[in-house]
Structure 1
Amino acid sequence: MGNIFLKVRVFTFFCIVIFTINKVTAAEQSFIQNYEQGFWSAKETSFFCSLEQTFDSYAKLEIVSVPAEPQKLVFNWLLSDKKITDIQIFSRKADWQSSRVSPPQLNFFSADINNNTVVFDADVSTLLRVIKQGGWLDSVIGFGDEQVRLTFTNTNSNLAIDQYQHCLTELSPLSWQQARDYEIYFETGKRIVEKTADLAFLKDLVRYISLDTKVTKVMIDGHTDNVGSPLANRLLSKERADDIASRLVEFGLPKNMLEVRAHGQRYPVVENSKVGRESNRRVLIRLFRDTTK
């Protein structure tokens, strides 16, 4: 009797396992992008570069680059009837490619979903190589106990990749957050900008201004610590501000965009202690925008 009971339990267990496997298998739906639609397209501006492919009305996969940030892979689920719980994206060779072809391997996974959008911060250089070599991308999107597999095909994408990579070379070196205000600090008694990093920033700033047509004015404010007389400090702050203004003009900034002011020791940001004076010997550069443009 015991053996019969044991056999029944074993049989029931295997039935449950088989049923579960079938249920999981049946829960995944697979769709392959039509070859005619399997193209990547590039978008180019001075402040935004993207390489994207849209899968019908289901999803969009996009490589995005903006100033001062690493490139990102962004997946958008376009239907609002379901919420994503997790997603995996990995490379595969195209169906038409030889079995000897082995595209670069990549595998992105995330369960960090925001409004059915997933942002991957991983290095996307491998992804660009996959696309350039004709590889496809599988995305397995989880919806709790359901899954949808979308295969992004790839047709004649070399031109789009070239456009995207060209956009990267022309992208602004600075974001607005970086460009809108910047301080350069000076050693005691120094009047000239000498640090390589500061000079590089000024060059980048001029390039940024040439790209951002909303910028109408560059304000330069010179400051000093309280070492010396007020009159001498006023003159010193003017010389520092004038040096930065001349550097900007040298790098290509129109003179009529500049406004230079000298404040001497009147507006310290911290107390003029031995340590605090370093923070007060400064020139502040600020950009102003016409937001109506």
Structure 2
Amino acid sequence: MGNIFLKVRVFTFFCIVIFTINKVTAAEQSFIQNYEQGFWSAKETSFFCSLEQTFDSYAKLEIVSVPAEPQKLVFNWLLSDKKITDIQILSRKADWQSSRVSPPQLNFFSADINNNTVTFDANVSTLLRVIKQGGWLDSVIGFGDEQVRLTFTNTNSNLAIDQYQHCLTDLSPLSWQQARDYEIYFETGKRIVEKVADLAFLKDLVRYISLDTKVTKVMIDGHTDNVGSPLANRLLSKERADDIASRLVEFGLPKNMLEVRAHGQRYPVVENSKVGRESNRRVLIRLFRDTTK
């Protein structure tokens, strides 16, 4: 009798397990992008590069690069009827690929959702290799007690990837936030820009200005601390500002975009009697834009 009871309990247990597994499986809906629509497209400007694929009206998967920031993978759920709770992006080989083909493995997961948009701050170089090698991407989107699996297929995407990578090489080295104002500091008595980082920035700045057609003027303001006479400091601040202006022209900036001013010791950012007065020995470079363009 005891054996029969035990067998019944075991049988009931396995029935419950099977029912639970079937219930979880039934909760997932799977959709595969039509092959003829499984292409990636590139968008490119001097300040924005993207490689994207849209899955009907369901979702968009996009690799994005902007100046001075790492590349990002962005997933957008396009329907407004549900709220995403989590998402997983996985690589897989295409159905038509040989069993010997093994695309690079990747597995991105996030539960950080903002208005049904998920941004993965991950190294996307592996993702680009997956697409380049013809691999597919599974997006497993969770909605609490149910989930949807969207398979992004991949057809003839080499040209789009080449366009995206070309865009990366031509992308502006600076963002507007970085370019709009910059300060270069000088040692006591120094008149010439010497730091490698400052010279590299000036080159990048000229490159940025050549790409941003809204920039109309570059203002250069020279400053000093109060060591020495006011007249000598006025001359020193002018020499510092002039050196930076000449560097910008040397790197290709049109002279007519420049306006140079020398202030000497008149506008300290720190009291010259206090620690930190070296901050007063500076040249401020500011960009001005015509926002009506």
TM-score > 0.5 by shorter chain: yes
User: What secondary structure sits across from 2:141 in the alignment?
Assistant: strand
Q: Relative to structure 1, is the Cα distance of residues 2 and 43 closer, same or farther in structure 2, using a 3 angstrom cutoff? A: same
Shift of 1:30: 0.6
Provide Cα deviations, 1:102-135, integer angstroms capped at 9, x if missing partner: 1111110001000100000110001111111111
Deviations 1:198-257 (A, max 9, x none): 000000000101111111111100000010000000000000001101111111111111
* Secondary structure, counterpart of 1:269 in structure 2: coil
- C-alpha distance after superposition, 1:236-286 (max 9, x if no partner): 000000110111111111111111111000111012146322111000000
Single out whichever of 203-212 and 15-24 deviates more from structure 2.
15-24
Mean Cα deviation higher: 267-276 or 215-224: 267-276
Distance 1:273 1:159 in 2: 62
Report the Cα offset of residue 15 of structure 1: 3.0
CA distance in 2, matches of 1:25, 1:14: 16
Deviates more, 1:230-239 or 1:6-15: 6-15
* Alignment correspondent of 1:268: 268
Q: Secondary structure at the match of 1:11?
A: helix
Partner of 1:227: 227
Q: Does 1:252 align with 2:232?
A: no
Structure 1 residues 46-70: Cα deviation after superposition (integer angstroms, max 9, x where no partner): 0000000000000000000000000
CA distance in 1: counterparts of 2:107 and 2:76, whole angstroms: 17
CA RMSD of aligned residues (A): 1.3
| Number of matched pairs | 293
The 1-side partners of 2:58 and 2:221 are apart by 53
How many Å separate the matches in 1 of 2:126 and 2:11?
A: 48
Residue deviations 1:17-55 (CA, integer Å, cap 9, x gap):
222111101000111110000000000000000000000
271-280 or 158-167: bigger deviation: 271-280
Quote how far apart the aligned CAs of 1:5 are. Answer: 6.0
Structure 1 residue 74 and structure 2 residue 86: aligned?
Answer: no
For each residue in 1:129-167, what CA deviation from the matched residue of structure 2 results, as whole angstroms up to 9, or x when unmatched? 111111111111111011111111100000000000000
Q: Which residue of 1 aligns with 2:89?
A: 89
**TM-score with structure 1 length normalisation?**
0.97
**1:1-293 correspondence runs (5 A):** 9-273=9-273, 275-293=275-293
Distance in structure 1 (CA, Å) of the matches to 2:196 and 2:35: 51
Question: Among the aligned pairs, what percent are the same residue?
Answer: 98
Structure 1 Cα separation of the partners of residues 47 and 213 of structure 2? 12
Once residues 262 and 275 of structure 1 are traced to their aligned partners in structure 2, the CA distance between those partners, rounded to angstroms, is 24
What is the CA-CA distance between 1:14 and the residue it aligns to? 3.1
CA positional deviation for 1:8: 5.1
Summarize deviations over 1:41-100 as a string: whole Å, max 9, x none. 000000000000000000000000000000000000000000111111011111111100
Distance 2:39 2:147 in 1: 24
Structure 1: runs of 5+ lacking an equivalent: none
Distance 2:7 2:100 in 1: 48
SS of the aligned residue for 1:82 comes to: coil
Unaligned runs of 5+ in 2: none
Normalized against structure 2, the TM-score is what?
0.97
Q: Secondary structure of the equivalent of 2:96? A: coil
Q: Post-superposition shift, 1:181?
A: 0.4
SS of 2:84's equivalent in the other structure is: coil
